[in-house]
Structure 1
């Protein structure tokens, strides 16, 4: 009996470790069951090389290519008509305003009468001189008298030329009673008022010659050397995109702002107005760049990040530097390689270390352009 009890105690002693091991194994969880569940289903893609435009940024104002100042040439005359207003398109030689010409025409008539009188006196003096010369060898007139007739004829001719010059001046004053456009253009300013008596030289109108406008834009001194006449420039004027062509580059750099001026010819567009401020760029061509979709870049706390997919489908936030932008592609200049998979959806709902489920992955090779 005693031996049987000892045998039972020994069997229990040997079975105890097995029971303990089995109990421990029963309490141990399956690793697959212990992993945290994914917080979001996401789509991923790979960065790829794409050709992006190289652009030099510029800012500046719209100005007239050349602006003509049209003033009064006649002095002390009264304006009787103003035929154009601001915004009107004018042609070379078109009458813009008219002065009263009554006094000027009266003075012209007086000058013309003086010319006729002087011409009659010249005819008489020349006849007298001719007769005096014919009597040179007869002794009827002394040499002194003959010379007086000849001098009188020459003086008459000089007086006639003076009166003719006065007549031409009066005729010119008559033409000055009409203010005409010196060239084709658009009227941008008008100070002429009917009834006003204006002095000579006072500005009456301003006209943009040929209606040509230009963009006078400031470019960083470091970028000036990359520009050349003929390059295409694109500018944004209050949401309106305009394309122009770079005409010339100023030879000097502003020592205060460290910028240089470029002059861009603009097309004839009613949406463009002088004095408007515009931002834009000069296009230099295309260059390859590592790019990702713009939706793959997150702005957080003033920095830009992409979210890579790490081991076990965990989110790894990676700070990056960005460069050029074209369409929906954004250049990554630092912080990412072409082999990295980045998330393109739901970035605003993810944080570093989250687990995600990949539901759509781009199969585009990293070095592809398409």
Structure 2
């Protein structure tokens, strides 16, 4: 089958009318003019540019004040323990009035010891005093008779001397017996075991029916209104903190409520492996503080007069370190500073700023060197 040969003859394009050509040419010129105008406008606008926006801030003034340098420590509270309450007389425990954990006041009966033996001793001692007192009275009358007879030499002087000696001896025996009677009455009183102070019973060592001897521990007490704080400090402060130094104590859960006390004693920290030490602070319980809780202590170690203080928000961290922004008209200048102590929302400036200098406070963190500001 014969193939059909494709015609290679080119077709002539459709001729455009003069109106079409003129219309397309005019549109092209208009578009080019608009493009040139747009480029020219952007260039002028970029050249002039809008002014930088001012950052709203609050200002402050650097103030010269006295700064107290403090060392802080987080320690523990313990109750001030008193020596164990021990038996002062022998006998069998007849009753226990309190148990561990009880709060007692001075004079509260803790336990009762059977007092039969002590009562018998008191009766015996008082009887002995009465017997000797009768003998003494009789001897004194004998002395009086012999002295009357001796005036007319009816009796020998030796008899008078003997009678006087016997009277003195009886007087001494009465005194001895009276002391013994007081001792037995004291032993009878000690069958009531009492708390010497307001305290909390920490432990009970005996039970009803136990036989106790003098000196045997019965109860362990801790003072209810007296606490002791143990504050650890590094060895570098061993020559800085001394007994008698002022200290402020507060609870970590309520640091606004502080009490003032003084360092009572210092002692090395056993087993710490270093030369660290503990400052011991004895103080009265202000109410609500409990043994076993944590306590924060602040010890004043130095006082610096005319130190420069600024608000804490004024100091900003930058690559150059700590800086503040000094207000100069409508702009700010970045100023590097060296800071000191920080306390209660303020920062001490050791170097880099003079008293009376206006600085940015709130909003300082959004500033850069030379930024425009608007003080509110």
Q: TM-score, normalised by structure 1?
A: 0.60
Match of 1:239 in 2: 253
Q: CA deviation at 1:173?
A: 0.8
Q: CA deviation at 1:123?
A: 3.9
Query: Does 107-116 or 76-85 show the bigger shift?
Result: 76-85
Contact 2:314 2:359 in 1 (8 A): no
Larger radius of gyration: 2
Q: SS of the counterpart of 2:62?
A: strand
Q: Is the alpha carbon distance of 1:55 and 1:198 closer, same or farther for their aligned partners in structure 2, counting shifts above 3 Å? A: farther
Match of 2:122 in 1: 108
| Distance across 1 between alignment mates of 2:121 and 2:318 | 80
Deviations 1:219-248 (A, max 9, x none): 7357559x987x6x5433231223222346
| Distance across 2 between alignment mates of 1:111 and 1:228 | 52
Deviations 1:88-110 (A, max 9, x none): 2513x443433221110111112
Mapped pair 1:268 → 2:286 = yes
Cα root mean square deviation, aligned: 5.3
Query: Does 318-327 or 156-165 show the bigger shift?
Result: 318-327
Structure 1's unaligned 5+ residue stretches are: 1-21, 310-315, 364-370
| Distance across 2 between alignment mates of 1:133 and 1:167 | 33
Deviations 1:163-186 (A, max 9, x none): 222211111111222233434x33
Structure 2's unaligned 5+ residue stretches are: 1-35, 327-332
| Distance across 1 between alignment mates of 2:102 and 2:362 | 55
Q: SS of the counterpart of 1:167?
A: helix
| Distance across 1 between alignment mates of 2:324 and 2:160 | 116
Contact 1:307 1:318 in 2 (8 A): yes
Q: Is the alpha carbon distance of 1:176 and 1:96 closer, same or farther for their aligned partners in structure 2, counting shifts above 3 Å? A: same
Match of 1:117 in 2: 131
Q: Is the alpha carbon distance of 1:327 and 1:144 closer, same or farther for their aligned partners in structure 2, counting shifts above 3 Å? A: closer
Match of 2:214 in 1: 200
Match of 2:298 in 1: 281
Q: CA deviation at 1:80?
A: 2.2
Mapped pair 1:189 → 2:189 = no
| Distance across 1 between alignment mates of 2:83 and 2:54 | 67
Match of 1:176 in 2: 190
Equivalent of 1:161 in 166, 172, 175: 175
Q: Is the alpha carbon distance of 1:197 and 1:110 closer, same or farther for their aligned partners in structure 2, counting shifts above 3 Å? A: same
Q: SS of the counterpart of 1:103?
A: helix
